[in-house]
Every structure is written in C-alpha cells, then in structure tokens.
Chain A
Amino acid sequence: MSTVVNDIPVFTAKDLVTDQEVRWCPGCGDYSILKQVQTVVPELGLKREEIVFISGIGCSSRFPYYMETYGMHSIHGRATAIASGLKISRPELSVWIITGDGDSLSIGGNHFIHLLRRNIDVNILLFNNEIYGLTKGQYSPTSELGKVTKSTPMGSVDHPFNPLALVLGADGTFVARSMDRDPIHLRTILKRANAHKGSSLVEIYQNCNVFNDGAFEVFTEKSSKADETLFIEHGQPLVFGAQKDKGIVIDGFTPRVVSLNDVSANDLWIHDETDRVKAGILTRFFDDPKHGPHFPRPFGVFYAENRFTYETALNQQLEDAIAAKGPGDLDALLRGTNTWQVKG
C-alpha cells in the first residue's frame, strides 16, 4: 500500500484498482487503455486523492468505476462541462475526462469545443472506436462514409468528423493521437498530456471487437502498421515504412510521400509541434486507408502550445478584485449606498 516519499505519497498501479468488476467485453481495447492509465498515473507525482476522473456515457465512460480515485460517471456528453466547473473551482486538482466519439463529438460536441478554446487545464482521453458500442452498434460521427450498421442498413451517408482537425479548429493547445494496441506509445503520450498546462486532447484509437472489429487494424497489425502509420516526434524528420525508407516532404503547403532512395533525409519535413499550420496539414493525413493512394496516419503529438488557462485567468481576477476592493464585506453589500432609517 501507500508509502510517502518527499511528501508525495507513492502508490502503484495496483492501488488504482477498485473493487468493481470490469465489465467491458472480453478483448475490448478499453482494457489496454485502463491498464496504461493505471500504470502511468502513479508515475506523475500526483496525490491520489487529488485526482478526479469524469466521464459521460458510453462503453468507455465506465472507466471511472475502475479507477481508485475520485470519479464521476455523469450523463451523456457532459463530462467536459462538469470537469470545467470542477477545475475552475478547484484548480489544484488533476482532472481527467474519459469520453468516446459519440459522447464528445455528437451529443457533447458543444461542450467539447468550448472546453478546448477556453484551454481549461484537464486531460481529455477520447476513446475513438468509430461506433456506438453501448447501444449495440449504430454508426457514430467518426464512422466512415458508407458504413453499414443497424441504423444504416444501406450504408451511412454521414460525412465523418476528422477529430483532430476539429480540435485544432477549436484552438486546442495540445493535440495528440495514440492507440490501444501500442502501450508504450500510449503511456508516453499520456505523460505528455498530463505535463501540458491547458486542455490536452488525446485521441485514442480503440478497437470495439464486438461492433466494429478491425476498424484500425491497418494501423495496429504487424503486416501493415509500419507502412500505414507515421510516428511523429518533435524535431525529427517524418519517416515511416517497414524499412524506414519512406518519408514526407512538403512543397509549400503540399505534402508528398517520397522514397528515401530518391530524397535525402535532410530534405524531409521536420516535425515542429509549435507549428500550427503544419499541424493542420498533418491532421489532414486522414484518408481512408482502404482506398489508396494515401498518407500514413500520424500518431504522436501534432501540436502543443502554451496559452493561459481559463481557470488561472479567472482566479487571478478574484485575487485582483480582493486586492483592489478588499475581501467582501457582507454587511456593506447588503446595506448598499442609499439607506434610510425609520425610527420607532
């Protein structure tokens, strides 16, 4: 159990396991994500009692029940707004939002974009499985065009969201993507997300093996992963392929896949997390992998920016108001400026 080192209690992944039976379908990608989160959180230097996980509704939103921290399993789409109120009023807490593609991009789309523009310092883990799992298999706002589901027997005619392009459009200050099947990468990204001061958005490709099995398999299966994914790192050239023999160059604003046999590594696009325009281009590496030719799907931190957070600015206003007017005097407030006395 817990011990204390330098005032920070030490706890392990085990201490984060609750007495609740985990109820995801066997083989669901959520298990891996839960495990990575439980592994990473004890390494963050946080006090367990100051950690809060808040979720909405959906398969992924069961997550807080399995984390031995403070938590709330709320209502559909509203975790972002609930977390906003909590973080604004308790800025010292470490607040994590667990949400899915239906929860955050459909019913909760409004709160999602507003949280991002306000840059409230929370970590948002968006489990994207491109399907509605809990309600048993309807297409979601990230399902691909033409998808056949229970509610779209003739194929979906709904153009899907590009989640990271949306996040960048909403002025998100930390934009990243990872996947359930790459634990090491996911843990690295989770740590980065936690370290970022502001709204950190991590889209996590998560396999729903019951209703949308294999949605991301080209990115996760050994046979295709190397050619279909592009792991981006700040300051590093964009290189991919099983033989690390392919790269991306950029001509003006137009990216191009090149063979390193033809182009020197020095001429490749060097990833710069602080470049908003280029991050925008990277989010557009989003074509359907089933229909080539196309770009590999990027994973990693697309964009990171230091911008003041909403709660810091608001709480500063409180301090400024106290400095200017002194702490509130209730009797003076009730009295106001114009009073009169009626004598008995």
Chain B
Amino acid sequence: MRYAKDLAEIYGVVNFLFTFAQLFAAFAVLFKMENTTLHATEATILFAGDSGDGIQLTGDQFTNTAALHGNDLSTFPNFPAEIRAPQGTLAGVSGFQIKFGSTEIYTPGDHCDMLVVMNAAALKANLKQLKAGGIIIANTEGFDAKNLRLAKYPDGVNPIEDGSLDAFRLFKIDVTKMTKATLEGSGLGTKEIDRTKNMFVLGFIYWIYNRSLETTIKFIEQKFGKRPEIVEANVKTLKAGYHYGETSETFMQRVEIKAAQIAPGNYRNINGNPATAYGLIAAAQKSGLPLFLGSYPITPASDILHELSRHKNFGVRTFQAEDEIAAITSAIGAAFGGSLAITTSSGPGIALKTEAIGLAIMLELPLVIINVQRGGPSTGLPTKTEQADLLQAIYGRNGEAPLPVIAAQSPGDCFYAVYEACRIAVEHSTPVFFLSDGYLANGAEPWEYPVSADLKPIKAVFAEALPEGEKFLPYKRDEKLARKWAVPGVKGLEHRIGGLEKEHDTGNISYDPDNHEFMVKLRAEKVERIADFIPDQQIDQGPSKGKLLVVGWGSTYGAIKTAVKAALEDGYSVAHAHIRYMNPFPKNLGELMKQYDHVLVPEMNNGQLVRLLRDKYLVPAEGFNKIKGIPFTSTELLEKIKTLA
C-alpha cells in the first residue's frame, strides 16, 4: 500500500505543449539579458496541480536542489483539505510555492513569476497569484473537455485557447508525447509511463534555472531502490525534460540565480516539523533523558510523530495513543517516570488535552505540549494556517493555571524554540506550551544546522535518596521555585502526587483556604520567575526609538521582516520586534514598546497578542489581522506600516 502511495506521489500527470519562441520572448522581457543567460536576483515559482500529481514532491525536489545550489529560499506548500478530493476539481488542487534568490529571502513570495499548472482547476485556483506579465506553463492534457468542466469553466471556454490569458505569457507543452517517446520499449505499462511526467517538467525547470540533476537522481535511487526499472524510468524522464530544454537552446534563454550572500556556515534545507522533531531529540540527548512522545494523529502535527518514530536508535519511544487525552496523559506518566515527555497536536486536540494540562501544572512535572496551529474554531481549516490558539495556550484551562508559552518564528527556528521549551520544562519543573503552525510545519528554508556541542546544556535536577529517617518533601522548591524530580526507583523517596490542591512543601492534600491562595500565587510566581532566565527582547531591525514598532510572534516573522526592511529602505521610522517568549514576556518588553509612538501587532487571528500587550502594559497597541488561512503578504504589511510610520 505504502509503495502504491509513493508511486502516486512521484509520478504525476504532466502534459505540456510548448512554444519556444513565446517562452524566449517572455524571459527576455522578465529578466535582464546578459550574453546567452538571463541574470536575476530572485524568482518565485508556483507549482500547482491535482493532489495526486506529485506537486509536493516536485516542489520538495526543486527546493532541495535550489538550497544545495546556495540560494536562500522560502517555501509554502498549500494542501487541499481532503486527501481524496475528486480528481480535477478545484477542491483537489495542491500547490507548492517557492521563492529563491541570491539575496536574503524571508517569505515564499507574495506573487509568483512563473505558474506551472497541471490542469484547468490548478490554473483557475492560482491565476490570481501570478504577477502581471508572468509566465504560465500549462499542461494541455489537463485542459481537455473533462478537466475544463471539473474546473467549472463555462461550456466551450478554454482559457489556454481563447486569448483570455493575453496579459500573461502562456506556454503549452505536450509532455505525454515526449514521456511516451522517452520510455518507449522500457517495458513499463502506459499508466506507469504516464506517472513519470512530473519528472519531465522538473527536468525542464532545472534546465531553465541551470540546476544539477544530482540531488533528485539520488532521491529517486533511494526511494525506488528496490525497483530498478522504476528508477531508470524516472531518471530517464527527468533527463529527457532537461535535454528538451537544451535542444531548444536556440529558442530559449536560461535564467541564472546565483548563490545567496548568506552568513558563512554549514547549511541544509529544513521544514518546521522535522526541525521540531530534531529539537526534541537534541534536548533529550543534551539532558541525558529518554524521550517519550504520546501523540494522536492530527493535521498538521502528525509529521512530528512520523519523524520521531524513525529515530528509535536515539532511545525515542513514540506511543500512538487511542485519543488526544491518552496522548498527553501517557506523556504525564512517562514524565513521572523520568522521561523528557512530549505530546503533539493541533487546536482541536489541544482542547481535549486541557484537563490533563491542568494536572501537569499541579504535578509540576516537565512536559512539552506542542500545538501546530491550524485554522479554527472546531475542525476549522485543518490544512490552513492560523495563529488563533495563543489565548488558548495562555488561558485555556480551569482554575488559575499559568504555564510558559514559547513560539517559533521560522521553520529552522522550530528547532531552537522547542529546544528552549524543553529546557524550561526540565529546569523549571513545569509543563510548557510550544506553538508552531501549519505554515512553519510545512514550509522550508535553508538552515545553518548547529553542532551539538554548541547547544545550551539542559540540566535535570533529580531528588536523591535522603539519609535514613529524614522525610522527603516532594514540593520543596529551589530558588526558581522548581521542585525536584523524584522518580520511582529511588529508595526512600516514595511519595504521592495528584490533582488535588497540595500543601506547601509536603505535597499532602490540603483544603486549607490560606494554603490554596498561597499555592495559586506560588505557581504563578514560579512561571513569572522564568523571566529571570530568558534573554531580553531584541529589536530585529530598525531604530530603538521612533514612530512605529511592529510587534509580531510566530510565523509572521518573514513577512514582517520583509515589509519593515522595505519601509526602512524607503526612509520610514519603523522597527520590528518578534516575540518568542509569549509567557512570561521578556522583562524589558514594556519599556521597549514605550520608545515608539505606535505599536502595530500583525497576527493571523482576530487580535490575541495585542490583547495581552494592552492588558499587561497598558499600551495603545493596534492590531492588524488576517484570518484567511493564508499568511500575510509583505505587500499588505508594508501598506499598513506606511500609514503609521
């Protein structure tokens, strides 16, 4: 079964009919020409097609190749909500946008320069993303009567034939014919041959951007190693696509986008979910604790479960529980036993875990709760991104139940942010929320991967056996107000913990009114005190005093950074601060905001951080909100910034 799915992914149906002269003309207009190669600083491509067309795979391969070429880049995979949406329909369109360049890239691009569409639905769904005068590469087979009908074009209308796309540069290619010719005599069936068509397109695009085929060939060999005839067919088609560009050289210019001038170092490409998984493994290794994940499958968090389950040789135990509640409570059990315990989910699952989070707060055990946010409420928009669970993370429990909240700002930053969440959980004996989102989870960027020796140490403090006769006090605290971790197996530390209110120090059940108020305040103070152990809030760019401070959190980082950079270049008085520590806030945050006339808080929700800031600091912060399931564009942010700076 698995194999069949893989096949469906890698093959895809692409069919292009191509007019060389037209494409040449388009490139000549779009890029500055130098000799026989066009030079550009950046480009944005959007691959779109049916969810079974292998779009994500094509995008991933292009991403890896661009990254290895040294480009800076940012990607945005956009999945259809339903895995098996009917073929050819608008609901079934899958997209993958990549912006790559020789300059620093912080977002996957507001609009694309090139739109590659496998069928009519993909064109209809994504045309608005294409820049004026941009290139459309269309697969003619995907524009037959059936596909046009499924894409809900009126009877008799075919956009690639009727001149309605004249504002763009349209190129039609017949890939079917060429793929068939390439694999003639290969012994493969028509269906299997058909499925290699996306490799033809990928090869062709590699040729346009002068990329090596090596990474993708290596990938194909790894993926299909057990079926040499499939490896051969895919590699042959990939090369055919590339050579097709080459043989048409007289008609067509290639585009050169040089390696980016990014900070020296060792890089790899990374997506947010694997980065999160690696951060967890790193934290376990550095703290010397065994890693336990209790999880229940949910979009878009499941990839963390998948990734961690592959690394059992790191002593990682993954437990796919029967439900979200068992996912977190099994993790609480493992935490009690001395594991670095994690639970992963998304909004609806987090809602189910709520009571158990309260228990973890009472038990004061280390636990990291990961929320890869998606559009809500309820089932909401499972495959779309949103930042609407911040208040849930901060407040969403019965009783007075504060806990630290950490948010990641980019795919690679998921590693560091979750590592920090683990550190705080272990060193401050508390459950910690880690917030990612669908955009970070699936987005990719070049990542200067760390060396393990450079990672901050994480020190777990265990209670040790006491001298005979001395009584163990499970809720005795250190200067951080953390309690020591007393794990079963240590003689003399036998003790009972639970969800009922605890007596200070002894941990015995207590209904004493004064003790309850004392303990509520103590638990709050314990979380507040974490502010003494985290860095001050930094200004990402811009002056330390001025007209406008843009305060962001989470995955809006790239868009805000790009917009603020542009505004600064245009002479506006604006700065950007991006918060990682959502609770407690860094100690200097209030003072920092007071240095500006206005505070603008862009969020992909209806205004959540802005409420926290107003509440805590009494600043007249203004929200700027987008709740469409898609990230901010830097253009819309820039426009807003210009009205205030």
Q: Which residues of chain A have a CB within 8 Å of any CB of chain B?
A: 9, 18, 20, 47-52, 54, 57, 64-65, 67-75, 78, 81-90, 92-93, 110-111, 114, 314-315, 317-318, 320-322, 324-328, 330-331, 333-336, 338-344
Instruction: Name the distance in Å between B263's Cβ and chain A's nearest Cβ.
Output: 7
Measured CA separation A72–B329 after assembly (Å): 12
User: What residue of chain A has the Cβ atom nearest to residue B493's Cβ?
Assistant: A49
Measured CA separation A325–B311 after assembly (Å): 10
Residues of A within 8 A of B489 (CB): 49-50, 90, 92-93
Residues of B within 8 A of A343 (CB): 264
Decide if B268 touches A335 in the complex (CB within 8 Å).
Answer: yes
| 17 pairs, CB–CB < 8 Å, chain A vs chain B | A64-B496, A70-B494, A72-B496, A81-B321, A85-B292, A89-B290, A90-B489, A93-B489, A111-B322, A111-B326, A318-B316, A321-B313, A322-B312, A325-B313, A330-B314, A333-B281, A334-B451
- Interface hits, B298-318 → A, CB 8 Å: 311-317
Instruction: Name the distance in Å between A267's Cβ and chain B's nearest Cβ.
Output: 44
Instruction: Name the distance in Å between A28's Cβ and chain B's nearest Cβ.
Output: 18
Decide if A82 touches B278 in the complex (CB within 8 Å).
Answer: no
Decide if A65 touches B496 in the complex (CB within 8 Å).
Answer: yes
Decide if B215 touches A54 in the complex (CB within 8 Å).
Answer: no
**7 pairs of A and B residues whose beta carbons are closest in the complex:** A85-B333, A73-B498, A85-B330, A328-B314, A344-B264, A86-B333, A321-B312
Q: Is B508 an interface residue (CB 8 A)?
A: yes
Known A-B contacts A68-B494, A85-B333, A321-B313; A342 and B262 likewise in contact (beta carbons under 8 Å): yes
Residues of B within 8 A of A92 (CB): 489
Residues of A within 8 A of B281 (CB): 328, 330, 333
Residues of B within 8 A of A87 (CB): 333
Measured CA separation A315–B355 after assembly (Å): 29
Q: Is B500 an interface residue (CB 8 A)?
A: yes
Decide if B336 touches A82 in the complex (CB within 8 Å).
Answer: yes
Measured CA separation A103–B294 after assembly (Å): 21
Known A-B contacts A74-B329, A82-B333, A88-B330; A64 and B319 likewise in contact (beta carbons under 8 Å): no
Residues of B within 8 A of A72 (CB): 336, 363, 496-498
- Interface hits, B466-503 → A, CB 8 Å: 488-500
User: What residue of chain B has the Cβ atom nearest to residue A23's Cβ?
Assistant: B509
Decide if A328 touches B268 in the complex (CB within 8 Å).
Answer: no
Decide if A339 touches B317 in the complex (CB within 8 Å).
Answer: no
Known A-B contacts A86-B334, A93-B489; A334 and B315 likewise in contact (beta carbons under 8 Å): no
Decide if B266 touches A339 in the complex (CB within 8 Å).
Answer: yes
Instruction: Name the distance in Å between A275's Cβ and chain B's nearest Cβ.
Output: 29
Residues of A within 8 A of B450 (CB): 334
Decide if B268 touches A49 in the complex (CB within 8 Å).
Answer: no
Measured CA separation A75–B499 after assembly (Å): 7
Task: Select one of A74, A75, A318 contacting B312, CB under 8 A.
Answer: A318
Q: Is B356 an interface residue (CB 8 A)?
A: yes
Decide if B329 touches A339 in the complex (CB within 8 Å).
Answer: no
Decide if A18 touches B496 in the complex (CB within 8 Å).
Answer: yes
Decide if B326 touches A88 in the complex (CB within 8 Å).
Answer: no
Query: In the complex, how many residues of chain B place their beta carbon closer than 8 angstroms to a beta carbon of chain A?
Result: 71
Known A-B contacts A327-B313, A330-B285, A338-B67; A88 and B266 likewise in contact (beta carbons under 8 Å): no
Decide if B267 touches A318 in the complex (CB within 8 Å).
Answer: no
Overall SS of chain B's interface: mixed
Decide if A339 touches B449 in the complex (CB within 8 Å).
Answer: yes
Q: Is B629 an interface residue (CB 8 A)?
A: no
Measured CA separation A74–B359 after assembly (Å): 7
Decide if B268 touches A81 in the complex (CB within 8 Å).
Answer: no
Residues of B within 8 A of A342 (CB): 70, 259, 262-267
Measured CA separation A325–B290 after assembly (Å): 18
Decide if A48 touches B494 in the complex (CB within 8 Å).
Answer: yes
Task: Select one of A57, A89, A320 contacting B333, CB under 8 A.
Answer: A89
Decide if A52 touches B294 in the complex (CB within 8 Å).
Answer: no
Measured CA separation A328–B452 after assembly (Å): 12
- Interface hits, B401-445 → A, CB 8 Å: none
Instruction: Name the distance in Å between B416's Cβ and chain A's nearest Cβ.
Output: 12
Residues of B within 8 A of A89 (CB): 290, 292, 317, 333-334, 337-339
Measured CA separation A75–B356 after assembly (Å): 7
Decide if A74 touches B499 in the complex (CB within 8 Å).
Answer: yes
Decide if A65 touches B509 in the complex (CB within 8 Å).
Answer: yes
Instruction: Name the distance in Å between A344's Cβ and chain B's nearest Cβ.
Output: 3
Using an 8 Å CB-CB cutoff, how does the interface string of B506-549 with A read, 1 for contact, 0 for none? 00110000000000000000000000000000000000000000
Residues of A within 8 A of B269 (CB): 338
Using an 8 Å CB-CB cutoff, how does the interface string of B127-142 with A read, 1 for contact, 0 for none? 0000000000000000
Measured CA separation A336–B64 after assembly (Å): 12
User: What residue of chain A has the Cβ atom nearest to residue B260's Cβ?
Assistant: A342
- Interface hits, B327-371 → A, CB 8 Å: 329-339, 341, 355-356, 358-359, 363
Instruction: Name the distance in Å between B211's Cβ and chain A's nearest Cβ.
Output: 13
Instruction: Name the distance in Å between B349's Cβ and chain A's nearest Cβ.
Output: 14
Q: Is B621 an interface residue (CB 8 A)?
A: no
Instruction: Name the distance in Å between B399's Cβ and chain A's nearest Cβ.
Output: 13
Residues of A within 8 A of B329 (CB): 74-75, 78, 81-82, 85, 111
Measured CA separation A84–B68 after assembly (Å): 44
Measured CA separation A86–B334 after assembly (Å): 4
Decide if B332 touches A73 in the complex (CB within 8 Å).
Answer: no
Measured CA separation A54–B451 after assembly (Å): 41
Decide if B488 touches A54 in the complex (CB within 8 Å).
Answer: no
User: What residue of chain A has the Cβ atom nearest to residue B490's Cβ?
Assistant: A49
Decide if A338 touches B268 in the complex (CB within 8 Å).
Answer: yes
Instruction: Name the distance in Å between A99's Cβ and chain B's nearest Cβ.
Output: 13
Known A-B contacts A82-B333, A318-B312, A328-B314; A341 and B451 likewise in contact (beta carbons under 8 Å): no
